[in-house]
Amino acid sequence: MLNSTKNWTAVRAGLLIVALIPVTMFLLVVGNVIWNSRMAIATYGLGNFFSAKISGPFSAVYTPGQYGLYPAMLGTLLVVLLALVIAFPFSLTLAVAATEFSMGWLGRPIELLLSIFSGIPDIIYALLSVFVVTSFIRPKFAGIQLADSLIATLPGFPKPMNAGTLPLNQSTLLGGIFLALLIIPFMAPLILDAIRNVPQQLKEASLALGATRWFTLRRVILPGALNGVVAAVTIGLLKASGDVVISSWTIGFIKDNGLPNPLWDIFERNAPLTSTGAGLVGGLYGASPSMGPGFSAASFSALLLLVFAFAIIGLANLTRRWLSRRYQS
């Protein structure tokens, strides 16, 4: 640390100027989103955003100027929670298997594999989703053996017209599965580090008092590693809510028929904010992206995502502070 010397050298000034570039970039990027969403807010108002149905460039009835983001917000919540519910047990068991329970030889390979998997781009996961569709989603959830007419006559099936729109290649469930695959390699190492950083004396004291390893894991190690668990959940939420490619490919772009009927219907194409924004800007099927009201609405959905992300970060910081205070006292 050289900051004890207060003198301003040329090197220090130069480094400071360089260090201000990322800050400027951040401010410009965030400012861009806020500046562009002003038109959407001014034209439609916040209330209309939450109630109006979306009519994007690709819906059947295209009436520009109605962008209700309420279904998209629900979609983000659904798919992120689903991804987290799928990813968390796997991350936790990966971390525990790599550190505790006397499996020293398992730790290094698991860490290497996780760091390799964390480099896989999201577009690859999106491309791979077709294999899960053909081997899991279609036989299990779409009644592939049933002809459409037979689906229509099934007892208790409410909407016979819906038979053609069963989840075949796009649904929140599929998106949740692949977002979980995306975030597991980022969540598990954080929990793993936290488990490693639990003081060795605590573990040894617990074992010396006659507790089993399982008891030590549940009552000593995992409470001690709660900090890492909070960090892992945070990064999982941020990555899952921010990803555009997987949610566009596996869920679809725009939910244009209002909210799903049971609100938790994970078999529908309930597009989250990210892919709704991507769809509103356009640039698909050979078209060129538009800078009109769709762009403004997309900026507003990006702004909502930013607010969500910083709320999550703030909440995580508060939780971490509360945990450390409780852990010390």
Partner 1 sequence: MKKGVLEISLRPAAGQIKTQDTETALQRLLSALAPLLSLAISVSAILVALVEITRNDLEAYPVPLLAGLCVVLELLFIDVYRQHSRWDFQLLIVSALSLVFLLVLHALPEYVTGLQLNAVIHRSIFSIIFLLAAALPALVASIYYLLGATPRAEDLSRYPLLLIPPALIISLYFILIWQLVLHGYKTFDWSILLRPYFHTFTPEKYYILGDWPAWRVAEHLSVGIQNQVLGTGLLILLTSAISVPIGVGTGLYLSEYGSGWFGSFIRFITGSLRAISLLVLALAALTLANLFDNTPLEGLFRGTFNNGLNTLSSPGGSYLTASIILSILVIPVIVQVTEQGCRSLPPDLREGSLALGVSEETTLRRIVFPWALPNIITGWLLGCAEAAGCMTVLLFLAPPWHGDNGVGIFKQVTSLAYLVWDIYYGEPIFKSYMQTYQFEAGLLLLLITLVLGILSMLTKDLLAKKFRGG
- 194-233 residues in contact with partner 1 (CB under 8 A) are 210, 212-214
Q: Which is nearer to partner 1, 290 or 326 (CB)?
A: 290
As a whole number of angstroms, the distance between CA 140 and CA 143 comes to 7
Site for partner 1 contains 153 (CB under 8 A) = no
Residues 6+ apart with CB under 8 A from 316: 230, 231, 233, 234
97-116 positions binding partner 1, by CB under 8 A: 97, 101-102, 110, 112-113, 115-116
Span interacting with partner 1, options 40-48, 92-100, 192-200, 223-231, rule CB under 8 A: 92-100
Q: Which stretch binds partner 1 (CB under 8 A): 3-11, 45-53, 63-71, 193-201?
A: 3-11
Cα angle vertex 220, ends 234, 118, to 5°?
A: 35
Kindly state whether residue 19 participates in binding partner 1, applying the rule CB under 8 A.
yes
Among 33, 195, 230, 271, binds partner 1 (CB under 8 A): 33
Tell me if 41 contacts partner 1 by CB under 8 A.
Answer: no
Q: Retrieve residue 228's tokens.
A: 């890492």
CB proximity list for 109: less than 8 A, separation 6 or greater: none
Applying CB under 8 A, does 265 fall inside the site for partner 1? yes
- Indicate the burial class of 155 (C-beta count within 10 angstroms; 0-12, 13-18, 19 or more): exposed
Distance of alpha carbon 181 from alpha carbon 118, whole angstroms:
9
Give the separation between CA 205 and CA 200, rounded to whole angstroms: 9
Enumerate residues 120-149 that contact partner 1 by CB under 8 A.
Answer: 120-124, 126-128, 131-132, 135-136, 139-143, 145-146
Residue 244 binds partner 1 (CB under 8 A): yes
